A and B are shown apart, each in its own frame.
Chain A
Amino acid sequence: AQTVTQSQPEMSVQEAETVTLSCTYDTSESNYYLFWYKQPPSRQMILVIRQEAYKQQNATENRFSVNFQKAAKSFSLKISDSQLGDTAMYFCAFTEYSGGGADGLTFGKGTHLIIQP
């Protein structure tokens, strides 16, 4: 079974700073997908960024980027120029590629990120 570990329960940084959230995972699969989701107090799940395991290039979405280290099974999220609206729970998630339809996500326990003004 796959597991996803987020070792930082809570982080706090000043506005405009850069912050990195860590995530490691364990799987025996060679083809899979990784995601970072944001859950603000409204509890809506918002996709931040995704990465296909077969792609070596790290994904980037505006201020958000990942450092994907497949051999180390590490998938960290970097948020640059952090904003107050980035305050939320951040979940790292994993799903394997089954060759058919979609599969369910395995989530880490989350990191509560607080951006201080």
Chain B
Amino acid sequence: GAVVSQHPSWVICKSGTSVKIECRSLDFQATTMFWYRQFPKQSLMLMATSNEGSKATYEQGVEKDKFLINHASLTLSTLTVTSAHPEDSSFYICSASDGPSNQPQHFGDGTRLSIL
């Protein structure tokens, strides 16, 4: 149980385009979803926290207009990288939780984003 599906797993696109990444909880209701960013050989950095039906809470230094997050249902959150540029190239990972902080977050398999 507790499967999180992230799509697409790899996307390559031209500079200036917008890219949408989906994160779905397949067998549970995710009251909270998180988006992380991981640069090569580095750690995961929390970008934002989203609760179903509410506006996302962004971490300091993360541009909310660049990284649009929508959590419209208990099973789906989306991250849209708007007007993407090469510096936005990274590995993006979502996680989902159906309980309080002592419960482990369930991670998606990540999306490798490459902007040419």
* Residues of A bordering B, CB below 8 Å: 32-33, 35, 42-45, 47, 50, 52, 91, 95-98, 100-110
Contact = CB atoms under 8 A, between A and B. Distances in A.
B104 A96 contact: no
A43 B99 CA distance: 24
A42 to B, nearest CB: 8
Interface stretch (B15-23, B79-87, B90-98): B90-98
B43 A108 contact: yes
Contacts of A42: 109
A104 B102 contact: no
B109 A43 contact: yes
Given A35-B104, A97-B100, A100-B100, A43 B91 contact: yes
Per DSSP, chain A at the interface is loop
Interface of B: 31-32, 34, 36, 38, 42-46, 49, 51, 59, 91, 93, 95, 97, 99-105, 107, 109-110
A103 B59 CA distance: 12
A98 B99 CA distance: 12
5 contacts: A43-B110, A45-B44, A101-B32, A102-B34, A104-B59
Nearest to A46: B107
Given A43-B91, A45-B95, A102 B100 contact: yes
B46 A105 contact: yes
Contacts of A103: 49, 101
**Which are the 3 A-B pairs with shortest beta-carbon distances?**
A102-B97, A45-B107, A104-B46
